[in-house]
Structure 1
């Protein structure tokens, strides 16, 4: 498997059935956007997405968001639809990144950008603080811990940022900074998804 395919989000799953994602709520509700057929791409399911954005209902409006391993853009486009101020979507696979850019043009959004890059390398530089961060990397690639460390070390988070992490269930507990409080946690099939709230003094 190529390096590009190893780091493409969303995570690997073999039962992918559709070539599009659906925006489930907000001003773009019901819009369907095509997804480029890239190996290893798994859009976050509508069931999980609805739960996550219910958790974020009080936090997403006018938030500056960072979508790491953006893949299909399922989380990023949902955030835009629900009133996020701005979202930066990072995606390593060039074809997937191009599709994200085309979808932004289709819906006429200008308060978002797509960056075709390696998320870990991007986070290694000094950052601009974000209110909401989505972390949904490929399964079983040991990326999450490095992401958490770089978000903190390089100032990518506002004092009370919300951090969403989607991972394989067998990964178990995550090692997070002491000032990250687990706000919500659920499991759906082989996926465990968590929302943390940062509580910087």
Structure 2
């Protein structure tokens, strides 16, 4: 795995191997990340990275939030309760030297603490098929993590219906991954 573009373009991230299937750690492939970030940066969604406050739920390795930091996001909060994931995220933050712009929360993404600042860009990559995405979005909304109009990037095994109050923007399939884009209320 590597950073696709931006300040850290081409920098390798900590090797994951096969991930941690028991903890549902399934890193987004470079190909899917590249397609996703090309879609987001293509102008249709404005400049979603520049100055963004990022929330990376079910962060895994942190690759999505780190890619956003590389492309100009101001800060990123990485949320994952897995021990392996927490270790990988911290190693990747250290590797890229961005601890001043990144923080980790070791908690369940469906039970978030109150936010210090609302996010303008949210990555949501829950374990596939467990119906955790909508619960995590509701927790984020309830705890003040979502700025009005925040862009939500939701990875799942299939297209996701927009929870009440959220506006569907787009849905695209990349192999066994479907990316659903939403706008927060």
Q: Distance in 2 between matches of 1:175 and 1:181?
A: 6
Q: Secondary structure at the match of 1:104?
A: helix
Q: Does residue 1:54 correspond to 2:38, yes or no?
A: yes
Q: CA deviation at 1:71?
A: 0.4
Q: Give the corresponding residue for 1:6.
A: none
Q: Which structure carries more relative contact order (alpha carbon 8 Å, separation 6+)?
A: 1
- Long gaps (5+) in structure 2: 42-46
Q: Give the corresponding residue for 2:63.
A: 74
Count of matched residue pairs: 174
Q: CA deviation at 1:150?
A: 2.0
Structure-2-length-normalised TM-score: 0.86
- Long gaps (5+) in structure 1: 1-20
Cα deviation 1:135-154 (Å, max 9, x = unaligned): 00111211012112222233
Q: Distance in 1 between matches of 2:160 and 2:129?
A: 14
Does the 8 Å CA contact 1:131/1:162 hold for their aligned counterparts? yes
Q: Give the corresponding residue for 1:174.
A: 161
Does the 8 Å CA contact 1:134/1:165 hold for their aligned counterparts? yes
Q: Does residue 1:164 correspond to 2:153, yes or no?
A: yes
Q: Give the corresponding residue for 1:97.
A: 86
Structure-1-length-normalised TM-score: 0.79
Does the 8 Å CA contact 2:162/2:182 hold for their aligned counterparts? no
Q: CA deviation at 1:173?
A: 4.1
Q: Does residue 1:195 correspond to 2:181, yes or no?
A: yes
Q: Which runs of 4 or more aligned residues in structure 1 lie more than 3 Å from their structure 2 counterparts after TM superposition? A: none
Structure 1 residues 158 and 38, CA, compared in 2 at 3 Å: closer, same or farther? same
Cα deviation 1:70-104 (Å, max 9, x = unaligned): 10212011111101100000111112212211221
